[in-house]
């Protein structure tokens, strides 16, 4: 595999395709260029997804995000482009991408985009804090 920036996202088969589970990633070194000034923009990308048949291979994701380093692009555009590319490659059940851009001119920018596969429904959360096995037990 190359160690140069590339737009190719590689995948591997989901080892548990019959189960909904969340994959969480944080990419703290994302950079691109401001299309107006050419100055660098820095962001942390937060990626959460529920895979269907495929998972993203991490090195290819790193090289993919690195490929934006010299591109002039608005925050909103690059966040949506990354989501579109991930959805096109992975075809996940659910995917959310948050781009937290560092302060520029006194303004922080956070862009959140998500995708939900048609017909997929999120399972309700179960809080184990509320479950106390002794609650029905009489001493």
Angstrom distance (rounded) from CA 58 to CA 81 = 18
Q: Tell me the two tokens of residue 39.
A: 């100055």
User: Which candidate in 34, 48, 52, 85 is catalytic?
Assistant: 34
Active site residue 55: no
Distance (Å) of CA 132 to CA 95, 129, 135, 136, 139? 33, 7, 5, 8, 15
Active site residue 32: no
Residues catalogued as catalytic: 34, 41
């Amino acid at each position: 595999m190359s160690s140069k920036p590339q737009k190719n996202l590689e995948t591997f088969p989901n080892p548990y395709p019959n189960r909904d589970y969340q994959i969480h990633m944080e990419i703290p070194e994302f950079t691109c260029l401001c299309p107006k000034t050419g100055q660098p923009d820095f962001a942390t990308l937060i990626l959460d997804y529920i895979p269907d048949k495929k998972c993203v291979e991490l090195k290819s994701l790193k090289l993919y995000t690195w490929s934006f380093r010299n591109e002039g692009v608005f925050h909103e555009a690059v966040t949506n482009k990354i989501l579109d590319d991930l959805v096109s490659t992975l075809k996940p059940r659910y995917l959310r991408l948050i781009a937290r851009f560092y302060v520029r001119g006194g303004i922080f920018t956070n862009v959140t985009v998500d995708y939900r596969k048609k017909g997929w429904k999120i399972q309700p959360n179960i809080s184990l804090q509320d479950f106390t096995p002794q609650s029905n037990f009489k001493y």
